[in-house]
Structure 1
Amino acid sequence: MINQIKKILPILAVAITLICHLFIEDSGQQKKTSQPYFTYFLITVLVIYAVLYIISFFNKKIDKKIIYKGGFYAGVIFFLNILNIITLKYAFLPKLFFPSLDRVLGTLVEDRIFLLECIVYSLKLLFKGFVCGGIVGFITGILLGFSKTAGYWLNPVTRILGPIPTTAWVPLALSTFPTSYSASVFLIAFAVWFPTALMTSSGIHNTSNAYFEVSRTLGASTLYQVFKVGIPNAMPNIFLGIFYGTCSSFITLMTAEMVGSSCGIGWYINWQKQMMVYPGVYAGLIIIAVICTTILTLLFKVRDRILVWQKGVIKW
């Protein structure tokens, strides 16, 4: 009985929110949108959840998930209801800085083509910087972990440059590189490089010497010890470094785009803020949240598939 109530809670929350939205009179202080986007949003959520609710009777996995998440989903809908009431219905908050949900959703729909261009630009920038920083960081970590000579030269560099916040390099990067795009790629790569290098070398150093001794006794070459002993043992640390680097790269991406770019989600948010169009600011923040969450979720899916024995150590 309790489980069924948990499953129905989101449906009740959407119904109550719809009633409040449709029957409470607007304050008239918020700018009207061309379409009732919040109503469409609630109906879409209701339809999707109703389909999942029906499927849950035949699928135990979905049934368990919506029972567990039902309270949270209902809480989110109620939060949106309260936010809609205090912004659109009664205008308790300054209308300039706190637009109605209709206006935010309207921006996502009406500016979707331009927003898609900004998303593609940001993802390209993030991908190039992430790949470059990840590769260099991985190689640096291997050198630090296996070579004393490399460690002699690289350790001081990583200890001095690594802790410096990436955003502190923005003025220098913009004045050094020929374009703001290449400067942004460098900044993102730098943000990924240090945590990847640090955690890779740490994982290799934490590998038991007994593994290397056994492999040498069996005639393993240096390359075999690197790729078949050291790196596999360091994989949990490597993924942890990639996770830290990914989080840092998001911050760097937004900063770089806001300061020296002519496109991208970070640039879009800054542009909308300068134009005092705050529905666009919130729309950009929603997009960033979705992109970051999706990338991190995919990253952890890959980690769980590769490191089956490590599943559950760090959850996302």
Structure 2
Amino acid sequence: MASNLADPQAGVAAPVTDRRGAGTIGPTLSVLSPVFVVAAALVVHQFLPTEQLPPLTWLDALPEWRHPYPVALALVALGALLAALAHAVVPALRAVVRHNAPLVAGAVGVAAVWELVTTKMNWLHQPFFPGPNEVLGAIIEDRVLLLESAWHSLRLLLAGYAVGATAGLVTGIVVGWFPRVRYWAMPALKFIGPIPATALIPLVMTIWKDSFTCAVALIGFAVWFPMTILTSSGIANVRLSYLDVARTLGAGRFYLIFRVAVPAAMPNIFIGLFMGLGASFLTLIVAETAGVPAGLGWYLSWQKGYMEYAKMYGALVLSAVFFSTLMTLLFQARDRVLKWQKGVIKW
């Protein structure tokens, strides 16, 4: 045993070296995974025969290498290589690159499977299921109209969401703080709240003649109910010890509500904001198909009427990016406001 401890050539260092070598292989494969998946997607795109017959579009005048799908794959591969270089050179970026590289690889893999089952194998037929190249071409072709529609949808969504969140916050605070108001209001909320906002389209169209105001009212109603319920629940369940300490220090009702109860109820309030945002997305698309002269929902309905399914799928892709961006911004706001929850509650 003594000779093993004294001998620097003993077989203890070898496993450490092996573990280090194995530890570098996993992160390297993870960082370079988008490049490998892009290569497989390009092989599928370039060498498998095309069984689906796409309609004639502006893409037919371009050479194959200038089509949007292979160009997008090449840009993803270039970005992945630059990210791998940054991973090797900048230690601060390593965690971000390792986290996002597999997600990018997964998205490219989904696009490759999409092309395989549509354009290459024709398991899903035209015109209802176009391939990714055709959908990207439709997005590029209608990019101006799509961006204009996204801008109109953003204005409408933010207006309705602000109205519903503000009304829900006020109603929730009143219902949660005052027991007498809660006694009368909760039965009414349970009766009115579950009504789908889209079922109120005929009613709001008779009250307001302007289609934008009608859509704002529908979105606001969809946001108001979950915001009210969760805010009132958070206010009503604030620990009595917090309120007792504040009263002992001489706090009045206004201070107790807005400096004690509302901050303590912020986790519930943010859950209401998230639920309201999801409800607003659903209501937005339906509201825009009911008379709003612009927006992503209007664009979807219009293109479906002309059986332009590639443009319809392009609008769906843009809607997904649009909605996920708003959801991410709300997550970041939640993380900043509820920073004290880190390490206490799993997010």
TM over 0.5: same fold?
A: yes
Which residue number corresponds to residue 117 of structure 2? 86
Of 272, 277, 283, 2:314 maps to 283
Deviations 1:200-235 (A, max 9, x none): 111111111122122112111110101111101001
Q: Does 1:55 align with 2:86?
A: yes
Distance in 1 between the 2:255 and 2:52 partners? Answer: 71
Of 196, 208, 214, 1:183 maps to 214
Which residue number corresponds to residue 38 of structure 1? 69
Distance in 1 between the 2:52 and 2:314 partners? Answer: 22
Per mean C-alpha deviation after superposition, the further-off stretch among 6-15 and 220-229 is: 6-15
Which residue number corresponds to residue 132 of structure 1? 163
Distance in 1 between the 2:154 and 2:102 partners? Answer: 33
Distance in 1 between the 2:342 and 2:195 partners? Answer: 32
Does the residue aligned with 2:54 lie in a helix, a strand or coil?
A: coil
Say if 1:216 and 1:48 are closer, same or farther in 2 by CA, change over 3 A.
same
Of 250, 263, 266, 2:281 maps to 250
Q: Does 1:18 align with 2:49?
A: no
- Within-5 A mapping of 1:80-229: 80-229=111-260
Does the residue aligned with 2:89 lie in a helix, a strand or coil?
A: coil
Distance in 1 between the 2:342 and 2:293 partners? Answer: 41
Distance in 1 between the 2:115 and 2:317 partners? Answer: 16
The answer to whether the 8 Å contact 2:51/2:120 transfers is yes
Which residue number corresponds to residue 2 of structure 1? 26
How much does 1:69 deviate?
A: 4.2
Structure 1: where are the runs of 5+ without partners? none
Distance in 1 between the 2:284 and 2:332 partners? Answer: 23
The answer to whether the 8 Å contact 2:32/2:80 transfers is no
Deviations 1:150-190 (A, max 9, x none): 33443232121111121221222223321221111001000
Bigger radius of gyration among the two: 2
Per mean C-alpha deviation after superposition, the further-off stretch among 78-87 and 148-157 is: 148-157
Distance in 1 between the 2:160 and 2:202 partners? Answer: 18
The CA RMSD measured in Å over matched residues stands at: 1.8
Deviations 1:106-127 (A, max 9, x none): 1111111101110010000001
Distance in 2 between the 1:66 and 1:125 partners? Answer: 35
How much does 1:261 deviate?
A: 1.9
Distance in 2 between the 1:41 and 1:275 partners? Answer: 27
- Within-5 A mapping of 1:227-266: 227-266=258-297
The answer to whether the 8 Å contact 2:80/2:101 transfers is no
Does the residue aligned with 2:49 lie in a helix, a strand or coil?
A: coil
Say if 1:127 and 1:314 are closer, same or farther in 2 by CA, change over 3 A.
farther
The percent of aligned pairs where both chains have the same amino acid is 37
Distance in 2 between the 1:41 and 1:304 partners? Answer: 33
Distance in 1 between the 2:293 and 2:342 partners? Answer: 41
2:269 is matched by which residue type in structure 1?
A: I
The answer to whether the 8 Å contact 1:118/1:268 transfers is yes
Distance in 2 between the 1:71 and 1:215 partners? Answer: 50
The answer to whether the 8 Å contact 1:87/1:98 transfers is yes
The answer to whether the 8 Å contact 2:34/2:76 transfers is no
The answer to whether the 8 Å contact 1:211/1:229 transfers is yes
Say if 1:314 and 1:165 are closer, same or farther in 2 by CA, change over 3 A.
farther
Distance in 2 between the 1:165 and 1:59 partners? Answer: 51
The answer to whether the 8 Å contact 1:174/1:260 transfers is no
Deviations 1:70-107 (A, max 9, x none): 44432332221222133223323211101121110011
How much does 1:32 deviate?
A: 4.5
Distance in 1 between the 2:171 and 2:331 partners? Answer: 23
Does the residue aligned with 2:195 lie in a helix, a strand or coil?
A: coil
Of 326, 330, 338, 1:295 maps to 326
The answer to whether the 8 Å contact 2:54/2:130 transfers is yes
The answer to whether the 8 Å contact 1:137/1:193 transfers is yes
Structure 2: where are the runs of 5+ without partners? 1-24
Distance in 1 between the 2:311 and 2:195 partners? Answer: 32
The answer to whether the 8 Å contact 2:52/2:126 transfers is no
How much does 1:314 deviate?
A: 6.4
Distance in 2 between the 1:303 and 1:78 partners? Answer: 32
The size of the alignment, in residue pairs, is 315
Query: Which TM-score applies when normalising by structure 2?
Result: 0.86
Distance in 2 between the 1:119 and 1:208 partners? Answer: 43
1:215 is matched by which residue type in structure 2?
A: A
